[in-house]
Amino acid sequence: MVETRIIDGKAFAEKLRKRVASEVTAFHAATGVTPGLAVVLVGEDPASSVYVRNKGKQTVEAGMASIEHKLPASTTQAELLALIATLNTEKEVHGILVQLPLPGHIDAQAVLSTIDPAKDVDGFHVVNAGRLAVGIDALVPCTPLGCVMLLKDALGSLAGLEAVVVGRSNIVGKPLAQLLLREDCTVTIAHSRTRDLPEVCRRADILIGAVGRPEMIRGDWIKPGATVIDVGINRITGPNGKHRLVGDVAFEEAQGIAGAITPVPGGVGPMTIACLLANTLTAAKRQVGS
């Protein structure tokens, strides 16, 4: 039985935000430029509204400009594309983020493809996905970037480790697998058609849950001493009728087996906005050429 360390993503994210804030100050002193992040929200999805509010608040706290565009759910795709085209040309906008999900009548891929790759701080444009895949400088999706930062902080070098990523979405699983490959891990991507998933997971020195199924990954799927990163955010109703958040990993069962694990909430979640701020600063530096 090992003692399982809880990886404190909240504390790490706070340190990262402070580091970004001090770099923003230095960048502004050297160039006179304030990095600007434009966030576009279409419709009134309550969860998206909360995310956008938090992003705006933390952007300003980091010394950057937050430019919010809140559009009605009835906005047409053409209107949204026109707004993005304008933001692409605005000098004070260094990062553009379109909050997903978009209303059903809008093709998200068409929208993401319209963002200038240099301003694509979410890292979802095919140009950035391609650059990541071939190993050249890219803007990298925020949640996977946060996962790798936590892993490197917990383990130091990741070279040679067996990593199993459960989930193959374009926003989490695939880019995370690319980043782990970049760190010289031996990477397996598992998904809904993977045969004998528990056995595949048991190979992992680094096990990532990015599925969106509450507590699907059980304690006995975890290799003793493995580092577990739980990306899943699932709202469940407890026996008392109250809602609570759980991850994709059965957290209690992982105790005493995993070497380290991220909790939900307070693990990967807070890293996402912190990495968005870091990406916005990176984008601004590249655009200004500093």
Among candidate residues 122, 205, 230, 248, the one labeled active-site is 122
Minimum CB separation of residue 217 from ligand NDP in Å reads: 9
Between the CA of residue 26 and those of 20, 91, 137, 157, 281, what are the distances in Å? Answer: 10, 19, 22, 29, 11
Q: Does 281 bind ligand NDP (CB under 6 A)?
A: no
Minimum CB separation of residue 8 from ligand NDP in Å reads: 15
The neighbouring-strand residues paired with 237 are 243
CB 92 within 8 A of CB 65: yes
Q: Does 231 bind ligand NDP (CB under 6 A)?
A: yes
Identify which of residues 31 and 234 has a Cβ nearer to ligand NDP in the complex: 234
Sign of CA dihedral 158, 162, 164, 170: positive
Listed in sequence order, the DSSP H helices in the chain are 9-31, 46-61, 77-89, 108-114, 126-134, 142-155, 173-182, 197-202, 251-254, 269-288
From candidates 4, 66, 128, 143, binder to ligand NDP by CB under 6 A = 143
Among candidate residues 58, 99, 230, 248, the one labeled active-site is 99
Annotated catalytic, 99?
yes
Sign of CA dihedral 122, 127, 129, 134: negative
From candidates 213, 218, 285, 286, binder to ligand NDP by CB under 6 A = 213
What is the DSSP code (8-state) at residue 189?
E
Annotated catalytic, 55?
yes
From candidates 272, 279, 280, 282, binder to ligand NDP by CB under 6 A = 272
Binding site for ligand NDP (CB under 6 A): 143, 166-169, 171-173, 190-194, 197, 210-213, 231-234, 268-269, 272
Binding residues for NADP(+): 167-169, 233
Binding residues: 167-169, 233
